[in-house]
Structure 1
């Protein structure tokens, strides 16, 4: 029997989490400032609200990222992430999503091992920092050694569908030792092909503009914001579960 492929939706609020889970998502990845920065650590209150909506800690992964920009961190940043991980896990999250590299593009094992300790029994997920290196599959052994449970990757491409060769190489290198999750620019029409690579999960944001045109005022940014689109999530779930 073919293993079930999970559907994960990136969200930034309890409302988004409810929409995603009710529309067929298996779990959510919670962050804040997704559109503006690619995702940052959410507030504790937001973590609590999403966990309450999900009703199951295994359905919630929380991004812990201290700033925008690259993934080479100073020791103070590593310590901050460790503290944030401990707090997120204390609140009940089933997984934390992190990523750290050395200046040479290798896994920062020292940071990951510290974060693994901070995470305790929660799953450790490595995010798309892996897509900044030339050969993502070359990092798999170090990720396994550091206790990483799953990896999010687009195969180094802007869109996962264009990174199929690298994603297939990740699946082969992992060989069941950790889960490979395809994510990055995923559209519903890409899902069948991505599933065919043997990945363990598909990740997308399913965002749409809120339609709010009220001005935000000086210093508040542009009008409107993104929300989770339940229709996109439902179509993604259908595409993932289809036998076609």
Structure 2
């Protein structure tokens, strides 16, 4: 379950989800959360293992050398703060950025590394999967290249078959309660969802191009939606 605020942390603890991906700014696809938020998550009673998204900026996944340095540094910091794992991704010229991933795996020092939906931009998913296995990545979060994973179930099942237990395939992207049973039947090891809702929280002044005055609100976790997804996963 993706979590971006204190309300989401409380929901995750109450529902007893298996794992959370901690992040900030989900409407932008998620970026690295603050170290204070990581510490709050790790210190919350009943919290499942905390995996932290390490993504220094929105946009694509071809990172400049300075950005790679920041990613590796953030990996060390969040793991030192108590995170159980990190979620990263890098793609260069349509292929997995093996140098970046290798440095992250080394910095993780045995903690779990998940390659996020940057995988859905890789030109040859089969080759990318094999490369991530060789690099020591624990799991891949993927929608099998579609905007919504439920629209790419045959491709998702093919990835599960290609992985052959060498790493986990975790399905994500547009996950809703009504499609979970179909997703689970592909054989994926896990299902990832953000279960978001919009809460009204207008601001009287413009704070930026993506935050105009009087905006429609902000995203947070929808506990009922999250509970339905969790029930559907466990029933499958």
Q: What is the CA-CA distance between 1:223 and the residue it aligns to?
A: 4.5
Deviation at 1:39? 0.4
**Alignment partners' CA distance in 2, 1:142 and 1:242:** 33
Q: Does 1:191 align with 2:180?
A: yes
The reply on whether 1:99 has 2:89 as its aligned counterpart is yes
Gaps of 5+ in 1: 1-8
Is the 8 Å Cα contact of residues 95 and 128 (structure 2) preserved in structure 1? yes
Question: 2:64 maps to which residue?
Answer: 74
Of residues 204, 215, 227, the one that matches 2:203 is 215
- Equivalence for 2:107: 118
Match of 2:2 in 1: 10
Structure 1 residue 55, shift from structure 2 partner: 4.8
Q: Flag the 1:187–1:179 CA change in 2: closer, same or farther, 3 A.
A: same
Q: Equivalents in 2 of 1:109, 1:216: separation in Å?
A: 45
- How many residues align structurally? 231
> Residue 118 of structure 2 aligns with which residue?
129
Report the equivalent of 2:144.
155
- Mark the runs of 5 or more structure 2 residues left unpaired by the alignment: none
In the TM superposition, what is the alpha-carbon distance from 1:229 to its structure 2 partner?
A: 0.9
Change (3 A) 1:74 1:230: same
Q: State the partner residue of 1:4.
A: none
Question: 1:29 and 1:14 mapped to 2: Cα distance?
Answer: 13
RMSD of aligned residue pairs (Cα, Å): 1.5
Alignment of 1:24-35 (within 5 A): 24-35=16-27
1:106-140 Cα shifts (integer Å, max 9, x gaps): 11111111111111121000000011124323211
Cα-to-partner distance string for 1:197-237 (whole Å, 9 max, x where unaligned): 0000000110001133x324232622421110110111111
Match status 1:59 vs 2:49: yes
Report the equivalent of 2:14.
22
1:123 and 1:54 map into 2 onto residues whose CA distance is 22
CA distance in 2, matches of 1:198, 1:119: 28
Conserved 8 A contact 1:188-1:236: yes
CA distance in 1, matches of 2:121, 2:186: 21
SS at match of 1:197: coil
Map of 1:6 onto structure 2: none
TM-score, normalised by the number of residues in structure 2: 0.93
Which protein, 1 or 2, shows the higher relative CO under an 8 Å CA cutoff with sep ≥ 6?
1
